[in-house]
Amino acid sequence: MQVLTNLVSNAWKYTPEGGKITVRAFQTNGRVRVEVIDTGLGISPEDQSKLFTQFFRSEAPQVREQTGWGLGLNVTKKLVEIMDGEIGFSSALNEGSVFWFSLPLA
């Protein structure tokens, strides 16, 4: 629940009004994969390389308009890994982002 909340919170914070957020889930090979897709600000290649680092926040003005500590993704990655999961993303600046995680089925 914390993982999903963090990812949806980011999608909400970093998608300007009029954008779209999609959450979907699939079951494959004994795992569940959840995707949070947004049509928001997107993330530059330079920022992508630091994304899961503690306290990292983009310098982009539209990001800095929102409050945050730069902790959400760092904690999210640790939580996923504790549960034997995997986490990843793909993003293009000004186009949007997809964050996903997968977990073994209980």
Ligand X SMILES: Nc1ncnc2c1ncn2[C@@H]1O[C@H](COP(=O)(O)OP(=O)(O)OP(=O)(O)O)[C@@H](O)[C@H]1O
Q: Is residue 41 involved in binding ligand X (CB under 6 A)? A: yes
> Hey, what long-range contacts does 25-32 have (CB within 8 A, 24 or more apart)?
27/105, 30/104, 30/105, 31/102, 31/103, 31/104, 31/105, 32/102, 32/103, 32/105
Pattern 48-87, ligand X, x by CB under 6 A: ---x----xxx----x----xxxxxxx-------------
**Shortest approach of Mg ion to residue 19 CB, angstroms?**
16
Please report, as ranges, the residues that interact with ligand X according to CB under 6 A.
10-11, 13-14, 38, 40-41, 43, 51, 56-58, 63, 68-74, 97
